[in-house]
Amino acid sequence: MSRANDPIQAAALLPLGARRPSFGASQAREKYLTAALLVLAVAALFAPALPAAAWHIPHFVDSRAWLGVPNAADVLSNLAFLAMGVWGSERLRGRLEVPVGASWFFVGLILTCLGSGFYHLDPDVPQRLIADRLGMAVAFAGFLGIAASERISVRAGEAVLVLMMITGLLAAWVARENLTPWVVVQYGGIALAVGLALTRPRPGALGVPLGGVILFYALAKLFELGDAIVFDATGHIVSGHTLKHLAAALAAWPVISSLRHDPQS
């Protein structure tokens, strides 16, 4: 009877696969992740080129100035990225365990504020888009690092963070002439995030609600597409592009909310 109640001996009687289910599951998920990244790499390298000039839309509907700031609403709404980036960075201070990619995610938000604000001061200059996209690439890499570490493994998060950081920055630079790599990084990356959000969290994960981040990102895209429609619907109070910045910045809130308590404290 004592042998049956001994947890160590009982565990020894279990099949090997039943004793280590999480390790085998993480290995399988890493293989699927590797395959998905290879597909994105092939698409970025060999898909037909999209000329950047044909896709640049410099004229946003709300061009009103305020206190000498041109396109004031689209410029100043980027301060929301700064606020969320600083708030998130403060949440990381003093934590014994920092999620993979979290610090880069918040740094990317601060860089997005600077780059997007610089771009919207004079959006007729397409070269300014580089600064806008560089910050986005850093934030996006950080988020995908968080997502991979939450759903697959810590080493998968670290690998995704490095790979997406390099490819995202390169794609942002190449987008001056060819938008294809940037489109693949942005939309292929969000598709990868959706797939990870539909995957069960790994044991010991922080519990970041990935679906919330994706929801705010999708809302931001809808506002972007409805720039003039929102402007007219609100009686020229606010444009869709301004609301896009606010919604995209709020995508950081689910990550920040998960950092409320230090699991080691």
235 within some domain: no
Range of the domain at 87: 64-208
71 within some domain: yes
Render the burial of 124-157: b for 16+ CB within 10 Å, e for the rest. Answer: eebebbebbbbbbbbbbbbbbbbbbbbbbbbebb
- The total of structural domains in the chain comes to 1
33 burial level (CB within 10 Å; 0-12, 13-18, 19+): buried
Rounded Cα gap, residues 228 and 60, in angstroms: 8
136 within some domain: yes
127 within some domain: yes
228 within some domain: no
Rounded Cα gap, residues 15 and 20, in angstroms: 9
19 within some domain: no
This prediction's pTM: 0.85
What does the pLDDT read at residue 234? 95
255 within some domain: no
20 within some domain: no
Average pLDDT per run of 10 along the chain, which is 265 residues long? Answer: 42 40 67 91 90 68 92 96 96 84 96 95 84 94 95 93 95 89 92 94 89 96 94 95 97 92 54
Task: Say if residues 148 and 157 touch (Cβ distance below 8 Å).
Answer: yes
What does the pLDDT read at residue 57? 60
